[in-house]
Structure 1
Amino acid sequence: MSISGALRRAAITMLERRDRRRARNAPPPDTREIRILLLHANGMGGTIRTVFNLAGHLAKNHDVEIVSVVRESPQPFFDVPPGVRVRYLDNRVNGRKGILNRFRSRLTPPDETAYHWFTLKTDLALLRYIRSRRRGVLIGTRPALNLLIARTAGPEIITIGQEHANLAAHQPQTRKQILRRYGRLTALITLTQADLHAYRKALKHAPAHLAQIPNAVTRLSGPDAHRTAPIAVAIGRLNHAKGHDLLIRAWAHVHRNHPDWTLRIYGRGPRHDKLQESIDKRELTESVHLMGPAEDVGAALADAAINILSSRREGMPMTILEAMSKAVPVIAYDCPTGPAEIITHGHDGLLVPPEKIHALANAITTLITDPDLRTKLATQAQTTAAQYNMSVIGPRWDKLLTQLTHISHQTESP
C-alpha cells in the first residue's frame, strides 16, 4: 500500500472509532434539517434546476440549505426558492485561490465526470462540513458527493444518495466505488425504474432503502406552444452524450424536402465548434442554429412545433417533460435510460431506435407533414407531464423522509 493509501486508511479508521463514540450519545435521527450537497449551485444545468425545485418543496416543512461545493458565478442562474439558503464552500468567482487548490482531489474517483472540479481544498472543506453535522439529513446529488457522505457522515445523520444519471453511465473506477460504498447510505434514490433494477442487481449490500422517485417537472413561464411555426427545438448541453451531432446529420435529410423548417439547438458546451463545423459542412447554416443557453426555456418551447431529444444516454431527461408540459410533441431516441419510461410511442410522443440517423429523420418528417398528429401527441403529452408535477412528486419525498426516520430509529435500537 502506498503512503497516501495508508494515510487515507488510517484516517478512515480514526473516523470509524469516533463514530462509535458518537453513536452511543447520538440523539434520535430526525429530518427537520435537510442539507443538499450540490457541485455548483450557481450553474445552469438540469440537475441544478431540479434540485432547486425539490429544495423549494422541502422548505415548506423543513430547514433546507443547499451546500454548493464551488461558486464560479456571483449569483445563481436559477431563482433560489423561498425558504432555501445557499452556502458555498470554495468561492472561485475570481479564480481558484490557495495552495490546496493546486492539488487534485484525493477523495473523488479520477474518472468521475466532475473530477476536475474537485481539489484538495474542496476535499477538506467537504469533510469539515459533513463531520460538523450532528443531526438531520444529508442528500448527495452526484457520485463524488454520495460516496463522501456514505464514507464520512456521522451515525446521527440520515444519508441519501441521488442518482441523476444511471449506473451504466459511470466510468469503471467510479462504478467500482459505487458498488463498494453505496450500501453505507441510508437510502439511494434513482430517477427511473430501469436504473432501480440495475442497482438492485449490482449492489451486494444495498442501502436500507432503495427506491425510484423521478424529478418533478419545473413550472415554466409563458404560454403553451402554438405549434404553427416551422421550428424544431433541441435543448441540452453540447457534449457527446446529448448526440446533437446525430441530430444534425438527421436534419440534413429532413432539410432536403422541407427547407422552410429550422432547427434551434439550445445549450453550451465543449462540442460547440465541432457541431458548427458539421452544420457548415452540410450547408445547413440557414437551417440549423446554435442558439446558446436557453435563458427562458418556456419562451424557447412556446415557439416550437417539435421537440427532439437525440441523446446517446440519459438519466431522466427533463427536457422531454418540459416540452410535454408546454404542449410540444416530442421525438426521442430510446436511449438508456428515461425516454421509454416517460413516452408511450404513438400516444404522447415518438420513440426512435438509438443512434439511428434515418429513423430519426423519418420521425421528424412524420411530424412535419402531419399537424393533426402533432396536436394529438401534444394533447396527450400534457396529461403525461401532469403526473410529474411537484404536487405529485413532492409527497413521495415526504413519505420517504418519514420512512427513513423509522428505519434509522430501528437501526439505532439495541
Structure 2
Amino acid sequence: SKWYAASFFPSSYKRTLARKINARQCDVVIGVHAFMALHLSAVKSRIRTKTVGWLHNSYEAFFEKETPYLPGLDCFFQVQMGKLDERVVLSHADAGCFFRKMNLCCEVIYNPLTVLPKGRGKKEYRRILAVGRFSFGHKGFDILIKAFSVFVKTHPDWTLEIVGEGPEEALYRSLINEYELEKSIALHPFTKEVQEYYAHSSMYVLSSRWEGFGLVMIEAMAHGLPVIASDLPITRELLKDKDMAVLFETGNIAQLAGCMSYMADRTDWEWMGNKAVEYADTFHIEKVCDSWNNLLKKVVYGTR
C-alpha cells in the first residue's frame, strides 16, 4: 500500500496539494468521491485540517461488480481511508459492507433533493419515465426497453421516455428498432428542465444494475410519481414496504414487465402520489444539511 501510494501520488503533487490546503486554513476539507478522498489521505500527515472522505458510489461498484471502479485496490483503499478523520457513505447497507469487509466505520448521510418540483405527474399521461447517463451496463436501460416490449403488448396506449446521453445510445436505438417500438419509446438528451419530464409522466422506473444512491427516484417522487426499482441494497433500504414503490429482481425482464403492469392497473394513483411527495420531502436539502452540520461538529470538536 505504501509503495502504491508513493507511485500513485508523486511527492511533488503531494507537496503542492498540502500547501494549497494549509493556505486556506480550513477547519475541515472534504474529498468528494473516492478518488478525491484518496488524494486527501495521501497528504493527511502534511496538513493541519480535519479530513472527510465522501464516497458517492456503493461498495459493490468500487470492488465487486463485473468491471469495478477500483479493481484490485481494496487493500490500498482500506489503508488510505483509515487515515481520514471520517468517511461518509450514502446508505446503511454500504456502511455495513465497509465495516465488515474493511473494518472502516462510516457515517451515513443520504443525498438531498436538489431539484425544485414543477408540477405533478398523472396516470392519464400513460407515460413511463427513466433518467440517467447511457453508460455501459450501468443504468439497465436495455433491460427496461426489453421489459417495456412485453408490457406494451397488453398496454398499447402507454409510452416510455428515456432522458440521457452516453455511449450506449446506439444499443438502445437498435433494441427499439428490433422490437419495432419507434412510436412507443423516445430517447431525449439531458436537459436542465428535467422537471418537465417528471411532471408529465405517470410512473418512474430505475432499472440499474447497481447504484450508489439513485437520486432520480426521489426527484420522481417529489413530482408525485410511483416508482419501480431494481432490488438493490440502496433501493431496498429506501423503498421496501413503501406503498408507492415496488422492487423487481435486478435484471429480471419478465418481473419488471409484470411490475409495470401492476402499477399501470392500480386505481389508487392520487393516494400513491400523495405518499410519494410526502416521502420525498424527508430528503429536503435543509434536513440533509442538518446531518452534515452535526457530522462536521463531531469531526472538529469531537461532539454532536
Same-fold call, TM cutoff 0.5? yes
Q: Select 1:194's aligned residue among 88, 93, 109.
A: 93
1:320-339 equivalence runs, <5 A:
320-335=217-232, 337-339=233-235
CA gap of 1:228–1:122, structure 2 versus 1, over 3 A, is farther
- Structure 2 equivalent of residue 159 of structure 1: 51
List aligned pairs for 1:244-283, cutoff 5 A: 244-283=141-180
Q: Which residue does 1:386 correspond to in 2?
A: 281
Pair 258,107 (structure 1): closer, same or farther in 2 beyond 3 Å? farther
Query: What is the CA–CA distance in structure 1 between the aligned matches of 2:164 and 2:188, rounded to whole Å?
Result: 7
Question: Does the 8 A contact of 1:352 with 1:363 survive in 2?
Answer: yes
SS in 1 for 2:118: coil
Letter in 2 for 1:399: N
Choose from 20, 40, 58 the match for 1:149: 40
| 1:302 has 2:199 as partner | yes
1:228 corresponds, among 124, 128, 133, to 124
Alignment of 1:402 onto 2:301: no
Equivalent-residue separation in structure 1 for 2:185 and 2:248 (angstroms)? 21
Q: CA deviation at 1:8?
A: 3.0
Structure 1 residue corresponding to 2:181, chosen from 281, 284, 290: 284
Kindly tell me: are residues 125 and 310 of structure 1, through their superposed partners in 2, closer, same or farther at Cα, counting changes over 3 Å? farther
Structure 2: how far apart are the matches of 1:260 and 1:225? 17
Cα distance, 1:155 vs structure 2? 4.0
Shift of 1:374: 3.0
Mapped contact 1:192–1:316 kept (Cα < 8 A): yes
Distance 1:318 1:6 in 2: 34
Letter matched to residue 228 of structure 2: I
Shift of 1:318: 0.3
Partner of 1:263: helix, strand, or coil?
strand
Rate the CA distance shift 1:272–1:149 in 2: closer, same or farther, 3 A.
same
1:195-210 to 2 correspondence within 5 Å?
A: 195-204=94-103, 206=104, 210=106
- Cα contact 1:294–1:300 (8 A) shared by 2: no
Deviations 1:89-141 (A, max 9, x none): xxxxxxxxxxxxxxxxx449xxxxxxxxxxx9998875663464443221112
Contact 1:235 1:266 in 2 (8 A): yes
Over 3 Å counting, the alpha-carbon distance change for 1:136 and 1:346 in structure 2 is closer
The residue aligned with 1:33 is none
Residue of structure 1 equivalent to 2:6:
8
SS in 1 for 2:29: strand
Find the counterpart in structure 1 of residue 272 from structure 2. 377
Deviation at 1:150, TM superposition (A): 1.1
2:228 counterpart SS class: strand
C-alpha distance in 1 between matches for 2:22 and 2:74: 25
* Cα offsets for 1:361-383 (capped at 9, x unmatched): 0110112222x233332221112
CA contact (8 A) 1:189 1:212 kept: yes
- Report the CA distance between 1:197 and its aligned residue: 0.6
Cα distance in structure 1, aligned partners of 2:153 and 2:264: 13
Distance 1:281-1:397 versus aligned 2 partners, 3 A rule:
same
Q: How does 1:115-154 map to 2 (within 5 A)?
A: 126=17, 129-130=20-21, 132-153=23-44, 154=46
Cα deviation for residue 407 of structure 1 reads 3.1
Partner of 2:112: 216
1:177: how far off?
A: 2.2
Q: Which fold has the larger relative contact order, with Cα–Cα distance below 8 Å and residues 6 or more apart in sequence?
A: 2
Q: Which runs of 5+ in 2 are unaligned?
A: 63-67
1:350 corresponds to which of 232, 246, 258 = 246
After superposition, the C-alpha distances for 1:182-220 in whole angstroms (9 at most, x for unaligned) are: 01111101110100111111224x36xx21010111142
Contact 2:134 2:169 in 1 (8 A): yes
CA distance in 2, matches of 1:352, 1:339: 10
Change (3 A) 1:125 1:351: farther
Identity %: 25
Q: In structure 2, give the amino acid aligned to 1:389.
A: H
Contact 1:268–1:292 (8 Å) recurs in 2: yes
Structure 1 375/123 Cα, relative in aligned 2: closer, same or farther at 3 Å? farther
- Structure 1, unaligned runs of 5 or more: 10-105, 109-119, 409-414
Q: Answer yes or no: is the 8 Å Cα contact 2:22–2:47 preserved in 1.
A: no
CA distance 1:181–1:362, shift in 2 (3 Å) = same
Do the aligned residues in 2 keep the contact of 1:329 with 1:375 (CA within 8 Å)? no
